[in-house]
Amino acid sequence: MHAYDELKTPIPITILTGFLGAGKTTLLNRIIQGDHGLKIAVLVNDFGAINIDTELIVSVDGESVSLSNGCICCTIRDDLLFAVLKILRKQHPPDYIIIEASGISDPVAIAATFLLPDIRHMLRLESILTVVDAEQVRDVHKQYSELIEDQIQAADFVIVNKIDLVDVTQRVTIENWVKSLVPRARIIATTHADVPLSMLLGVGRYRITLDTVHDVLPHDHHSHNHGAEFMSWSYSSEHPLSIRLVRETLKQLPVTIMRAKGLVYIAEAPDRRVIMHIVGRRISLTMGDAWGSESPRTQIVVISTPNGINCELMNMQFDACQAGVAHAPVAVDDWQVVRHTT
């Protein structure tokens, strides 16, 4: 029996894309050297391009490098799906898989690989990240402009990198251009691909309590205070919620919300946890295990841009999801105070 035959929950996959020179490898270096406590497998076309500190290396096995922080860096030689399944066959499969696409790859085609019915129980496409070079993305040769637009349109998060090389007017122009291509995408502006890892790596604690807000809120041990750039909101309820109303509510959430996760107590399945993930514009509601001796309750933690959440409206919206509640959900137009202009 293979290790992946025993997986209880699918392993999340993030696809990292972006045109040549945008900063993908810089971001990967931050991930593999980060103090995230996760076993991450990073697949790239050539992991030799990654600057791996020799002090991190535990072992080298053919096309794989194992690191002391739990990461595995592997090179993709042939079939991508085969390479991923090979990692899952390991005695201790990773918590998370990141695939760096080449600068001229179509991320949609890569994503389609992991939507095959036969492997959905093993792998879950969590997000597509597209890194954009703020200084040069609009100046590349026209023959690549369509490819770059395709990469952006596929994204759940668009990381507008190298903002230190442009002025405010140029930055606004780039961000408005990105919004015109994919209005519901979440945009993260950054320098040197310095993105909060907890924003990108959404695996971990499903048994969320209100005390875990500080664990979920992005924070790194750098001089740059990422936590100041985000805000959080949490929701808790012991009343069962209607799955239909929850779905409608999640679809209406403002684009200022970057990530959310939690457990949902659903009236239609009161004995089972429903696990909720929101990564950018990607929403996932999946059936979890039984509540067992634990009292059923909904607990959700949300991360947004500064002032990106109207807490009163959010409480009203989720309270209106309670099964049997007579009052109507908050009107969509009321969200305009926290929604990006598109």
How far apart CA 199 and CA 159 sit, in angstroms, is: 12
What are the CA-CA distances from residue 322 to residues 205, 206, 241, 265 (Å)?
Answer: 24, 21, 4, 10
How far apart CA 268 and CA 256 sit, in angstroms, is: 30
- Site of tokens 């205070």: 225
Whether the Cβ atoms of residue 25 and residue 138 lie closer than 8 Å to each other:
no
pLDDT in the model for residue 205: 35
pLDDT in the model for residue 177: 92
pLDDT in the model for residue 61: 66
Instruction: Please give the structure tokens belonging to residue 59.
Output: 């072992």
Phi-psi category of residue 267: left, alpha or beta, with phi > 0 → left and psi -120 to 50 → alpha: alpha
Burial class (CB in 10 A: 0-12, 13-18, 19+), 59: exposed
Instruction: Give which of 282, 339, 302 is closest to 155, Cα–Cα.
Output: 282
- In sequence order, which residues have a C-beta less than 8 Å from that of residue 249 and are 6 or more positions away? 317, 318, 320, 321, 329
How far apart CA 18 and CA 136 sit, in angstroms, is: 12
pLDDT in the model for residue 318: 93
3-class SS of residue 197: helix
**β-sheet bridge partners, residue 263:** 275, 299
How far apart CA 95 and CA 8 sit, in angstroms, is: 12
Instruction: Please give the structure tokens belonging to residue 48.
Output: 């030799």
Burial class (CB in 10 A: 0-12, 13-18, 19+), 333: exposed
Instruction: Please give the structure tokens belonging to residue 4.
Output: 């992946």
pLDDT in the model for residue 53: 58
Instruction: Specify the pairing of strand 40-44 against strand 57-61.
Output: unpaired
Whether the Cβ atoms of residue 156 and residue 182 lie closer than 8 Å to each other:
no
Please give the DSSP secondary-structure letter assigned to residue 184. T
The total of other beta-carbon atoms located within 10 Å of residue 16's CB is: 26
Q: Which domains does the chain have, with CATH numbers?
A: 3-198 (3.40.50.300), 206-337 (3.30.1220.10)
How far apart CA 76 and CA 279 sit, in angstroms, is: 26
Q: What is the pTM of this model?
A: 0.69
The one-digit pLDDT tens for each residue of the chain (342 residues) are 455 455 567 888 888 888 888 888 888 888 877 777 778 888 877 666 666 655 555 556 666 666 665 666 676 666 778 788 888 887 788 888 888 887 777 788 888 877 777 787 788 888 888 999 998 887 775 678 888 888 899 888 899 999 999 999 999 999 999 999 988 778 888 889 888 776 777 644 333 333 444 444 444 434 344 444 678 888 999 999 998 899 899 988 888 888 888 899 999 889 998 988 887 777 888 888 899 888 999 999 888 877 888 889 999 999 999 977 544 443 433 333 222 333
